[in-house]
A and B are shown apart, each in its own frame.
Chain A
């Protein structure tokens, strides 16, 4: 069985500050891990994914995430927040078949000018 926990349903950062969104997962098999972003009234857009190999994954818009097996974590970071980063962020886990994704409850990111 697989599940995702996103710590912090709301995160606020100042423009230019570090963004850190937390994600912990539970999986009985080696997981595939994903971060998606959702803007109001839109679907989900893939930011980045981890399947195998390098544990530090770089995605679009300057985001990156590190897979830490020992901590069962896949936290999302960005060195400098931009106003356009304000959105809902979802962490997701699947097995290596990709047959079923389990999403977290999401973290709403607010960027303060």
Chain B
């Protein structure tokens, strides 16, 4: 089975710019969650999408937004980038109440 894939693997942006990160879910999974993992920290929940609708959101501002497509792939968009947005962004997919499967992440650096 195909696992969770994320693109790009690394990205460098400057403050104020916008970024889009992409995630392809594992085959058969209809739920996708996004996490931000700052250096030396655990992942922090950003939001979850189920059947193209947002299904839960963590403590992140509205400039963090997402989309889920009919094929269950997903995008994370971040506007007005700040230095503190530098982190590893992880996507995880799941089906029903089964455990989440994680991708290897996108490392975002803000200069």
Q: Do A and B come from one complex?
A: yes
Residues of chain A at the chain B interface (Cβ within 8 Å) = 4, 32, 34, 36, 41-46, 49, 51, 90, 96-106
Known A-B contacts A98-B97, A99-B48; A104 and B104 likewise in contact (beta carbons under 8 Å): no
Chain A residue nearest to B42 in the complex (CB): A103
Name the B residues within 8 Å of A100 (CB-CB): 33, 45, 48, 56, 58
Is A105 in contact with B41, judged by CB distance below 8 angstroms? yes
The number of chain B residues with a CB under 8 A from chain A is: 28
Most buried by A among B90, B94, B103, B104: B104
Of A4, A44, A98, which one neighbours B102 at CB under 8 angstroms? A44
- Tell me the complex Cα distance, A39–B17, Å: 30
Is B102 in contact with A103, judged by CB distance below 8 angstroms? no
Of B41, B92, B107, which one neighbours A106 at CB under 8 angstroms? B41
In whole Å, how far is A87's beta carbon from the nearest beta carbon of chain B?
Answer: 14
Is A104 in contact with B4, judged by CB distance below 8 angstroms? no
Of B4, B43, B96, B105, which one neighbours A103 at CB under 8 angstroms? B43
Known A-B contacts A41-B104, A44-B102, A46-B101; A101 and B90 likewise in contact (beta carbons under 8 Å): no
Is A106 in contact with B42, judged by CB distance below 8 angstroms? yes
Residues of chain B at the chain A interface (Cβ within 8 Å) = 4, 31, 33, 35, 40-45, 48, 55-56, 58, 90, 92, 94, 96-105, 107
- Tell me the complex Cα distance, A99–B31, Å: 9
Is B42 in contact with A34, judged by CB distance below 8 angstroms? no
Most buried by A among B35, B44, B102: B102
Name the B residues within 8 Å of A4 (CB-CB): 42
Known A-B contacts A43-B90, A44-B43, A44-B90; A101 and B100 likewise in contact (beta carbons under 8 Å): yes
